[in-house]
Amino acid sequence: MVVFPNCKINIGLQITGKRTDGFHDLETVFFPVALKDALEVIPAAGQKEAIIYTSSGNVIEGATKDNLCIRAYHLIKKDHTGLPALKMHLHKAIPSGAGLGGGSADAAFTLRLIDQLFSLQLTEARLAEYALLLGSDCPFFLLNKPAFASGRGEMLEPVSINLSDYRILIVNPRIHVNTGWAFSQLQPPSLKHEDLKTAICQPVDKWKEFIRNDFEAAVFSTHPEIASIKKTLYKEGAVYASMSGSGSSVFGIFKKGKEPQLNFPAHYFCKLV
């Protein structure tokens, strides 16, 4: 069975407090984007290893045993010991560590694929519990529709956002922004935040007046080339531009028919979807 995990962008990202469990409370709007990986899983009963994993495309950093797809398999197998061995291949097209949720998407799609492939009949609530163990934004990819997120990012409320008249340009400068470092740079959450639920209902060309990403100040100060991407997207006619997550990807929303003229360095990842 083959599935195609897609990425997301954050429209607004507001940190509202530090939790006792070490995580932060936040508010954001997750929006799914049709930039996709490809994941294939094949039952392999009889093979000695529980899972044989291979990958292609973009390089995935870290040890293979820590890969979120493999961890998703082992989470389910803990409760379903009869789960057979698998062969799994992941083709990475979504840049890794880029604020696009690619790893979380792969994990969420793995959970659902295994559930369907082996008729486990897991409830949505149980899938979400597994997903949250893998990443704060992982449960979103089970819903995979525009959603207002709060808590760690796992409390999801569907929202109506129509971007059918627009295209989204994603630019990633191949800079790794450490998520832990980014959180450590946040100012105390005493800053006044706009009501994101209200702001997201404004016309798209009004978003830049009300919607911001709290990580931008620190990331842009440390990596001015990321700030420059946002400025360029606005210069090229974006109605809204922002960094996604804690970076380093920046996206711009353009009216259909207005193709931006790009002159980014050759090693940048650029995709118009």
Is residue 110 within 8 A of residue 69, CB to CB? The reply is yes
The question of whether 231 is a catalytic residue gets the answer no
Task: Name the active-site residue from 8, 36, 92, 271.
Answer: 8
Distance CA 231, CA 236 (A): 9
Q: Please choose, from the candidates 198, 228, 203, 200, the residue with its C-alpha nearest in 3D space to the C-alpha of residue 216.
A: 228
Q: Please choose, from the candidates 71, 131, 62, 65, the residue with its C-alpha nearest in 3D space to the C-alpha of residue 101.
A: 131
Distance CA 50, CA 43 (A): 10
Sequence-distant (6+) residues with CB within 8 A of 118 are 43, 80, 83, 84
Region of 63 please: left (phi>0), alpha (psi -120 to 50) or beta: beta
The question of whether 77 is a catalytic residue gets the answer no
Task: Name the active-site residue from 37, 106, 115, 137.
Answer: 137
Distance CA 189, CA 223 (A): 23
Active-site residue numbers?
8, 137
